[in-house]
Amino acid sequence: MAPSAVNNLSHPCISEKKSGWMKWLSRIFRSGPNRGGGGSGSGSGSSSGGRLPQQLIGDQENIFRRAPARSTDDPSRAHKEKEELDHTIALSLAEDLKRRNRYRRRTENDEAISRELQDKMNLSPYPSVAPPQFHPGDYRYCSGCNRAIGYGNYLGCMGTYFHPGCFCCRSCGCPITEHEFSLSGKHPYHKSCFKELTHPRCEVCHQFIPTNRAGLIEYRCHPFWSQKYCPSHEHDNTARCCSCERLESWNARYISLGDGRSLCLECMESAIMDTGDCQPLYHSIRDYYEGMNMRIDQQIPMLLVERQALNEAIVGEKHGFHHMPETRGLCLSEEQTVTSILKRPKIGGHRLVGMRTQPQKLIRRCDVTAILVLYGLPRLLTGSILAHELMHGWLRLKGYRNLNPEVEEGICQVLSYMWLESEVMPGFRSGPSTSAASSSSSSSSSKKGGRSFTEKKLGEFFMHQIANDASTSYGDGFRTANAAVNKYGLRRTLDHIHMTGSFPV
């Protein structure tokens, strides 16, 4: 708008210049007749110049008639020029008013922002400091609430800024007021919260696992259950479940079986405590063998015994191989007197009381005298031991003689593993399931015809134990036998063992 105002103001000056020039030109033409030799009153002057002045006068009149339109003395022209000047002044004033309004709005907005920031500063619980010079373009924005920080205290951390109340722990959500804090990625934590999240706790004593001399966190971890615990608990007489191998936690008491063994509460739910309770399970496993065309014709006695009685029977047995460090079952070939459990004990506090036993004379009527199994083990573990020992009996009754330990123990472990599969994962392999036949066992889940999650998890653990056994006879023997059975089938593998005494390759 400013250049337009300048152009409008320049027009009256141009008009004045043109009017002055016209006045000068009119004076020239007025003095023309006098220079021609005649005054204005002598109409009949010299004959040689009479017509020329007349023409000049005519031209002069023609020019003069046009000159008044440009003269500043003309009232209409003066009025028009005055209107143009007024219009120019009005435009200039309007432009100036707009500039003032813009400046006034900007000033009011700045004052409003300043008042808002001042109010927030007055409400802050932190002591205020002298405000720096205010620059609207230099705002710092809080990374916690994404609002301008303005005046007052603030924190500069991790390359950004925070209100003191917005710098919060990622875990608990409370402001971090300590001088030191922990950082994970872009997220801050209280040191205590970060330790709670990352430092492992012992699942036995529930304390933070201490560091070793090198400053490293050292702990033990069960390969199947992933139970983490301090290394010291392996040597401080902490009880370990004889079934699932988990250590006893300080907030949960295990049941003592009275022979140096302890049982956790989960394994206790399906534990078989006396010979009478084990008979349905024993017969169901015999049926499992018969379903695979491996019928056992002889009636082999089966007894549940204590650890001491089993160890005594092992000493009196001349043949056979025993799983170390703990033997849980035995297929007897010699005549012995064994003390079996006649009546299941009751739980009194954290131990078993009221157990009744009786000695039993075992007479040899065939190559197998009896099958002995430790009492107090969960149903699935007891069944896998019975399946293993029954395979020993079947091999002896069918004339499989002089087998080396890796072959005999390996194929017996395969039958134990297959029976567990039929219980935990029915239909995984071709073969009969004993779930229906064993429905009368002591396990409450078995009485319902199904498997609880706890019992199924225990079965998977027992399968894991067989598959990952480190011994030569039981571990390597199982893996070799299982590979042969998967490749050639159980019947062809057994025929090859009978003929050659080894596994087919």
- The arithmetic mean of pLDDT across residues 72-101, rounded, is 67
Least confident of 181-185, 241-245, 272-276: 181-185
Residue-wise pLDDT tens digits, 18-28: 444 445 445 54
Q: What's the full length of the chain, in residues?
A: 505
Residue-wise pLDDT tens digits, 435-475: 433 433 433 344 334 578 899 999 999 999 999 999 999 99
What does the pLDDT read at residue 324? Answer: 60
In this structure, what DSSP letter does residue 208 have? B
Distances (CA, A) of 129 to 143, 153, 348, 479: 22, 8, 72, 77
- The arithmetic mean of pLDDT across residues 248-275, rounded, is 91
What does the pLDDT read at residue 53? Answer: 40
Distances (CA, A) of 237 to 79, 207, 293, 325: 120, 18, 47, 18
What does the pLDDT read at residue 291? Answer: 94
Q: Which residue has the higher pLDDT, 366 or 42?
A: 366
Phi, psi of 113, rounded to the nearest 5 degrees: -60, -45
Q: How confident is the model at residue 386 (pLDDT cuts 50, 70, 90)?
A: very high
Largest CA-CA distance found in the chain, in angstroms, rounded = 187
Q: What is the mean pLDDT of the chain?
A: 76
Q: How confident is the model at residue 366 (pLDDT cuts 50, 70, 90)?
A: confident
Asked whether residue 385 carries a pLDDT value surpassing 80, the answer given is yes
What does the pLDDT read at residue 72? Answer: 44
How large a percentage of the chain has pLDDT more than 70? 68
pTM: 0.63
What does the pLDDT read at residue 428? Answer: 61
Q: How confident is the model at residue 481 (pLDDT cuts 50, 70, 90)?
A: very high
What does the pLDDT read at residue 318? Answer: 63
Asked whether residue 41 carries a pLDDT value surpassing 80, the answer given is no
Q: How confident is the model at residue 362 (pLDDT cuts 50, 70, 90)?
A: confident
Phi, psi of 390, rounded to the nearest 5 degrees: -65, -35
Residue-wise pLDDT tens digits, 279-306: 999 999 999 999 999 999 888 999 999 9
Structure token pair of residue 351 = 């131990």
* Sheet strand arrangement including 370-374: 302-305, 370-374, 329-332
Beta bridge partners of 343: 356
What does the pLDDT read at residue 319? Answer: 62
Q: Backbone dihedral region of 150: left (phi > 0), alpha (psi from -120 to 50 degrees) or beta?
A: left
How large a percentage of the chain has pLDDT more than 90? 38
- The arithmetic mean of pLDDT across residues 342-359, rounded, is 76
| Alpha helical stretches, state H, 346-502 | 379-397, 405-424, 444-447, 453-467, 477-488, 490-500
Dihedral angle sign, alpha carbons of residues 330, 334, 340, 342: positive
Q: Which residue has the higher pLDDT, 205 or 158?
A: 205
Asked whether residue 103 carries a pLDDT value surpassing 80, the answer given is no
Q: Using CA atoms, how far apart are residues 154 and 134, in angstroms rounded to an integer?
A: 16
Strands (E) in 211-275, as ranges, are 220-221, 228-229, 255-256, 262-263, 271-272
DSSP 278-321: HHHHHHHHHHHHHHTT----S---EEEE-HHHHHHHHHH--S--
Dihedral angle sign, alpha carbons of residues 315, 319, 323, 327: negative
What does the pLDDT read at residue 115? Answer: 67
